[in-house]
Amino acid sequence: GHFLSHYGVARELAAALSLRPGLDQVLKSLKKPSSTVKLDWKNSPIAVELKAGDLAPQFLGVLIEGVKVGPSPASVVTRLQACGLRSINNVVDATNILLMELGHPVHAYDADKISGKKIGVRLSGKDEKLPLLDGTTLTLDGSELVIFDGAQAIGLAGVMGGGNSEVTEKTTRVFLECAQFDPVTVRKAKARHQKQTDAAHRFERGVDPQGLGNVISRLATLVIELAGGKTAGSVKAQIKAPAEPVAIEFPYNYV
């Protein structure tokens, strides 16, 4: 998945160019997209529950209130079209810009459609029904990861959001999700239900487990820039903290 984002391509190019004489500073000049929203993981009115163990070890959420959902500016529409994506509305477009920038799939829910003021990840129930954003309804077999609220499943984790929680022009409060899911479980669910999506294409290859904080901060920045509003709480749930990266000494001359 390293090349499935603008930042990922830039990182690989910077690493390669830094090996060349006179270009050893290129890697240090690599920059991530900026984030202006600072999150403290406090005061979220929506709680998060993780019930799938290591299959879904991390889930970060941000509530933004006062958004105005509508068409995106022409510059955003053109940018998405250049990436082979179509504009939906300014909030959904922000999630797709983030997807292309950093390669981590994210999702926006209408916060008023999240029942019981809670959201989380669990395994599906046998023969559980789940309506999706594309208008189809799945019959689950108990092996899939689903996003759930206080009443029902509201998304096929890592693949596609649910039609029962989608953002519309009437939405004024959005809950942003950034999570980590087991790649094999996502791949099997995608194949079983024949849902080849941009999200599944990345999750089945693995996402950076240490990058979730930066990803959702950038997403909140984009949503506020495009749709207005302000943060009204953030939440972080982890089964365990991701392992620290290990520096591997590998002599270039050996290759």
Q: Tens of pLDDT along 144-197? A: 999 999 999 999 999 999 999 999 999 999 999 999 999 999 999 999 999 999
Helix 6-17 vs helix 90-102: crossing angle, to nearest 10: 20
Whether the pLDDT of residue 243 is over 90: the answer is no
Whether the pLDDT of residue 234 is over 90: the answer is yes
Q: Tens of pLDDT along 63-73? A: 999 999 999 99
Query: How many whole angstroms separate alpha carbon 62 and alpha carbon 163?
Result: 20
Query: How many whole angstroms separate alpha carbon 226 and alpha carbon 69?
Result: 9
Q: E-strand spans in the chain?
A: 47-50, 58-65, 107-110, 118-123, 126-131, 137-141, 145-149, 153-156, 160-161, 173-180, 230-238
Q: Which two tokens stand for residue 219?
A: 């997403």
8 A C-beta contact, residue 80 and residue 92: no
Helices (H), the chain: 6-17, 74-82, 90-102, 183-193, 198-203, 212-227
Q: Tens of pLDDT along 5-28? A: 999 999 999 999 998 888 888 888
Q: Tens of pLDDT along 209-221? A: 999 999 999 999 9
Number of Cβ atoms within 10 Å of the Cβ of 142? 10
8 A C-beta contact, residue 72 and residue 85: no
Per-residue model confidence (pLDDT) at position 42: 92
Per-residue model confidence (pLDDT) at position 1: 87
* Dihedral sign, Cα of residue 146, residue 131, residue 4, residue 229: negative
Query: How many whole angstroms separate alpha carbon 88 and alpha carbon 113?
Result: 19
Whether the pLDDT of residue 227 is over 90: the answer is yes
